Structure 1
Amino acid sequence: MKAIILFGHGARDIRWREPFDRLAALWRSQHPDTPVELAFLEMMQPSLEEAVSALSIVGASQIIVVPVFFGQGGHLRNDFPALLAACQEKYPEIILSATNAVGDDLAVLQAIVDFGGRALRFF
């Protein structure tokens, strides 16, 4: 079974995760047959390892991690590959892979441009 992890940075303020919770809920409503978990680099739970564990329990054999980061900073270039490798070592029966940061995708950038355009119409 394929599954997805939406991976964010994390923050001290619990309200910071609200868009991530909405994103996961959108995923569940549009892809009910593909499990999704949230995971955070720091300051919030679950961790990447905890999310992989939760998906392994429901039978995931392939997991793609989507970094919900705007760009490829030090966390994604340095910390994230080490976390992913540690998860792969702990769960060798699961195929783990990752996408680029969502901010690298032209469609995501265009959605932000469109958002700004809509905001200008109501300003």
Structure 2
Amino acid sequence: MEAILYICHGSRVKEASAQAIDFIKVCMKSQSNEIQEYCFLELEAPSIEEAYERCIRQGATSIVAIPLLLLTAAHAKHDIPIILDKMKRQYPAVTLKYGRPIGVSDEMVDILMERLEETNEKVTEDSLILLVGRGSSDPDVKRDLGQLADLLRNRLPKSQVQECYLTAAKPSYVEALEMADESQANKVFIIPYLLFTGILMQSIQNGLQKVGDSNGRKIILCNYLGYHPKIERVLKERIHELNGEEAYVSNYA
């Protein structure tokens, strides 16, 4: 019997963890697997180990592990696989398949466009759009967010789009805000490329409080991604990609 194990990041902000659980519960309804569990990499329960064993106690002979992560970084390539490798050694009779993160796609850019549109502020050729990612020392993160920014530029050819990062990569969010303040843009749209609320979303909001509207320029903070049917469809694709796959790939590098 095949189980699906959804792996979320985890957050110190309870609302963020609750949003992740609600998201996964919606996704579970669209899957026919009798055994489905969610878990967190850190900061929240149940842990990956606990949920893995819960699947086995319910009779799982095969586990499909799906990371609910936006981009392919250290968590997806190393931290989660280390734990899954340990569980695979502990339960060698149980087949394990590990899926890809959400990644880069036109569907994700569709959601970014929606987040811009729902502000009810018109994006013009004098607008600057800051796409704010989590950030990582892993170069794949810069590559992926850069690709998303390129796709967004294709949708908005008359506007300037700049990606930036909250941690561990350049340009930083603070640097991007400073560049925006020196630019000729009459509107600055800030799109948090985050699945849920949390500490990072609070960092974005705090940065805006320090800057505020200046020089007659309007700064508009868009909503983070949140639940969206298109993200749910991507997760379904990640599950279906593993059909027929026998190998467990523990490293994307």
TM range (shorter): 0.7 to 0.9
Q: Distance in 2 between the 1:98 and 1:58 partners?
A: 20
Q: State the percentage of identical aligned residues.
A: 22
Q: Which residue of 2 aligns with 1:5?
A: 5
Identify if the C-alpha distance between structure 1 residues 16 and 86 changes in structure 2 by more than 3 Å, giving closer, same or farther: same
* CA deviation after TM superposition for structure 1 residue 110, in Å: 4.3
How large is the Cα RMSD of the aligned pairs?
A: 2.0
Which protein is richer in helix relative to its size? 1
Q: What does 1:1-123 correspond to in 2, within 5 Å?
A: 1-102=1-102, 104=103, 106=105, 108-110=107-109, 112-113=111-112, 115-116=114-115, 119-120=118-119, 122-123=120-121
Q: CA deviation at 1:19?
A: 2.2
Unmatched segments (≥5 aa) in structure 2: 122-253
Counterpart secondary structure, 1:12: coil
C-alpha distance 78-37 of structure 1, shift in aligned 2 (>3 A)? same
Inter-partner Cα distance in structure 2 for 1:108 and 1:47: 30
Say if 1:97 and 1:70 are closer, same or farther in 2 by CA, change over 3 A.
same
CA-to-aligned-CA distance 1:11-67 (integer Å, 9 cap, x gap): 112111122221232133222543211111111111111111001011111111111
Query: For residue 5 of structure 1, what is the amino acid of its counterpart?
Result: L
The one-letter code of the counterpart of 2:89 is E
The count of residues paired between Structure 1 and Structure 2 equals 121
Counterpart-to-counterpart distance in 2, 1:60 and 1:73? 28
Deviations 1:75-108 (A, max 9, x none): 2222111111001011112111111112x15265
TM superposition outliers: structure 1 runs of 4+ over 4 Å: none
Unaligned stretches of 5+ residues in structure 1 = none
Q: What is the rounded CA distance, in whole Å, between the counterparts of 2:4 and 2:41 in structure 1?
A: 16
* Cα distance in structure 1, aligned partners of 2:112 and 2:2: 32
Displacement of 1:111 in angstroms is: 5.0
Q: Distance in 1 between matches of 2:23 and 2:53?
A: 20
The separation in 2 between residues aligned to 1:55 and 1:100, in whole angstroms, is 20
TM-score (norm 2): 0.44
TM-score by length of 1: 0.84
Alignment partners' CA distance in 1, 2:33 and 2:72: 30
Contact 1:27–1:36 (Cα < 8 Å) also in 2? no
Which one has more relative contact order, counting CA pairs under 8 Å at least 6 apart?
Answer: 1
Q: For 1:90 and 1:5, how far apart are their aligned partners in 2? A: 17
